[in-house]
Structure 1
Amino acid sequence: MTIKGVLFDFSGTLFRVESTESWLRAVLTDARLALPEPELLRTAEALERAGALPGGAFPVEPPTGEPGELWAVRDRSAEHHRAAYTGLSRRVTLPDPALHDALYDRHMTPPAWSPYPDAAEVLAALRERGVAIGVVSNIGWDLRPIFRAHGLDPYVGAYVLSYEHGIQKPDPRLFAIACEALGVDARDTLMVGDDRRADGGAAALGCGVHFVDHLPAAERPDGLRPVLDLIG
């Protein structure tokens, strides 16, 4: 098939969030608070085990009961997303309770994210070939400023974000919205993501699907380049 449009996931596909340790250090610095190094490292590890960093590791112990119900729909609204992740953060004791919201706010800033090394190259090559590009993300906040800050926004023709539509991947409706926004048929579209369940939902529409590994940026320097080989 000839690919006329490519949809990309955000976190773990085009961008990678900073480490939990970097995330915590930045917020403590902004708050002018300090922890002894061993305590800081223990706290960062506890936050990672809790799954408190959006875009980072999933909780080692997933929430149950009402928190679990919120976790399941966290990407359907900004309110759900903040409540779910700050709820996980509050499993960990921090020197100031205000830091839980500060951590959440930090993860929405451009310095918290790095594009994968080959992201700009691949997006530019697709645009040069006349391929329409969209971003489809399960998320609870506006990621467009991240793309603008890192110079990738000019390549993107449409952003379809779960919280803006009240629909989460793998629901095929989210991918259908993206295809319509780009003016491409789903059967002529490739979805690129790192989550086989969520991103694999595009296959129900007839989209092709290609998966990449969710790794630190330095460990995946050219994971997106195979996409160019899939374009007819």
Structure 2
Amino acid sequence: MNISLHGFKAVLFDAGDTLLTIPGARAILQRYLSERELHREQEPIGVLFDEAFRKFYYEKPSSGTELCSPESDRLFWAGIYAFVLNGLGIREQRAEETIHEWSHELYDLFTSPEQYELFEDVIESLERLKRSGLRLGIVSNFAPTLKAILRHKGILHYFDPVIVSTEVGLEKPNPAIFRLALEQAGLHAEETLYVGDHDKNDIWAPNQIGIRAVKIKRYAHMTGDGIVSLRELG
């Protein structure tokens, strides 16, 4: 499907699983454990990652009043990594304190710029949208490293504003984070389009303040209406 951008002045984007991804998450964790004399196959690692994301991220209860801090973000994701480690039976071989320490090390590892790759349509699409006169921005639930990641990938300069949950103290699906983006950009809701992958965070939340939102389905398991490439914008 193609999404007409006629009448819009700006397109705001989610970051993770919309613009960028960690393609080798299974291999990263497998290597991390192997370096600690713990050997696990990638398949069970992948199954546990999928279960953790579904259980704690995609099905996460939300009130629409979420706040955020660097500490709360770290604790949330460290909890996911602890879930995966425990599912792999690491608790039977290492102390609880070690699992806690490793979960936080994995948070640092998985939020470092080197692990990320842009989806193949990103740079050409950003160039095209920018040339058409659209303002581009980001509203993302992410660690404080997001701007460093975007800079490392060579795309930070495309975006203004860049609203990061851990920097502004608000977290999707709280609609207030989208109000803040509009205020910082001097935009009205009706002239702004938002693109993201999460039904509640990226579709429901911006809709609450009048921003039209489009779901991007980067993976085969994703359902519902939406686009599968940024090339479908415009």
Which of 56, 68, 71 is the matching residue for 1:76?
68
1:140-178, CA deviations, whole angstroms, 9 ceiling, x for partnerless residues? 433001111111111111111122222222222111111
Residues 12, 214 of structure 1: 8 Å contact kept: yes
Following superposition, the deviation at residue 26 of structure 1 comes to: 4.4
1:85-134, CA deviations, whole angstroms, 9 ceiling, x for partnerless residues? 22232231446623222211111112221111111111111111221111
Residues 50, 88 of structure 1: 8 Å contact kept: no
**Percent identity between the aligned chains?**
25
Residues 218, 229 of structure 2: 8 Å contact kept: no
Residues 182, 189 of structure 2: 8 Å contact kept: yes
Quick check: 121-130 or 143-152, which moved more? 121-130
The residue type paired with residue 16 of structure 1 is: T
Distance 2:75 2:231 in 1: 36
| 5+ residue gaps, structure 2 | 1-5, 221-227
Residues 132, 182 of structure 1: 8 Å contact kept: no
TM-score, reference length from structure 2: 0.77
1:170-208, CA deviations, whole angstroms, 9 ceiling, x for partnerless residues? 222111111222222111000001112111211222222
The 1:172–1:63 alpha-carbon spacing in structure 2 relative to 1, beyond 3 Å, is closer
Q: Which residue of 1 aligns with 2:165?
A: 162
Q: Which residue of 1 aligns with 2:77?
A: 85
Distance 1:148 1:113 in 2: 12
Q: Which residue of 2 aligns with 1:219?
A: none
Distance 1:46 1:215 in 2: 15
Per the alignment, in what secondary structure is the counterpart of residue 198 of structure 1? helix
TM-score, reference length from structure 1: 0.77
Following superposition, the deviation at residue 42 of structure 1 comes to: 6.2
Q: How does 1:22-101 map to 2 (within 5 A)?
A: 22-28=27-33, 32-36=35-39, 39-41=40-42, 44-45=45-46, 47-48=48-49, 51=52, 57-59=53-55, 76-91=68-83, 92=86, 93-94=89-90, 97=98, 98-101=101-104
Quick check: 122-131 or 91-100, which moved more? 91-100
| Alignment RMSD (CA, Å) | 3.0
Quick check: 188-197 or 75-84, which moved more? 75-84
Distance 2:8 2:202 in 1: 17
Which of 169, 180, 183 is the matching residue for 1:180?
183
